[in-house]
Amino acid sequence: MTERPQQLAHLENLGDATRFAGQIYLLIPKCPLLENFTPTEVNLLSHFMEVYRAADNMEIIREGDGGDFMLIVIQGRIEVRKRDRYNTPQLIATVEPGHTLGEMSMIDGEPRYATCVAMEPALVAVLDRESLARIILEQPLLGAKILMELVLMLSQRLRATSNRLMELLDAQGQNSAGVL
């Protein structure tokens, strides 16, 4: 990683993720992104990630911010909150080790969709867009694998979200145009 994301400057940087490769590998059964990864691939990937420690109650990602990185939760519980129309943060998910956060902004560069707060001391492995670009150039098959898993995860989330929206519109007798 050539330059550290400034949005992570308040967290403690623990260096590249190679030291944590074994710990990350153990997360695979709980990590959709890595579900098809071999130990060798996890090890390779860990060279392109950096690990950060967040103290209890610390914001790791803030809704509306810029930021072109995603992260894998290695340790700790993290709450995901999004502001409603009254600007009140609403809990939309609590995630555990193995979960990934921030994929959408890493890829599309749009502002963060929600805020992520550590609910206990947490460790996260960070992959930014530049490192992903380097993986694609230097390790194209690993790059394709990561991208394929991202497409899969987003596709499944989009199905679930679209179904939920469709049901709500349906129940309200509303038009479903544009559900997908």
Residues forming the site for a copy of itself (CB under 8 A): 80, 82, 84-85, 90-93, 103-104, 107-108, 110, 113-114, 136-137, 140-141, 143-144, 147-148, 150-152, 154-159, 161-162, 164-170, 172, 175-180
As measured in angstroms, the least distance from the Cβ of 159 to a copy of itself is 6
As measured in angstroms, the least distance from the Cβ of 22 to a copy of itself is 28
Nearer to a copy of itself by Cβ, of 12 and 167: the residue is: 167
Burial degree of 13 (CB within 10 A; 0-12, 13-18, 19+)? middle
- For residue 163 the two structure tokens come to 């179904």
Q: Which of 29, 13, 37 has the alpha carbon at shortest distance from 125?
A: 13
- Alpha carbon 11 to chain centroid, angstroms: 17
Nearer to a copy of itself by Cβ, of 12 and 138: the residue is: 138
Instruction: Say how far apart CA 54 and CA 12 lie, in whole Å.
Output: 7
As measured in angstroms, the least distance from the Cβ of 15 to a copy of itself is 27
- For residue 39 the two structure tokens come to 């130990």
Nearer to a copy of itself by Cβ, of 55 and 180: the residue is: 180
Nearer to a copy of itself by Cβ, of 9 and 137: the residue is: 137
3-state secondary structure of 135: helix
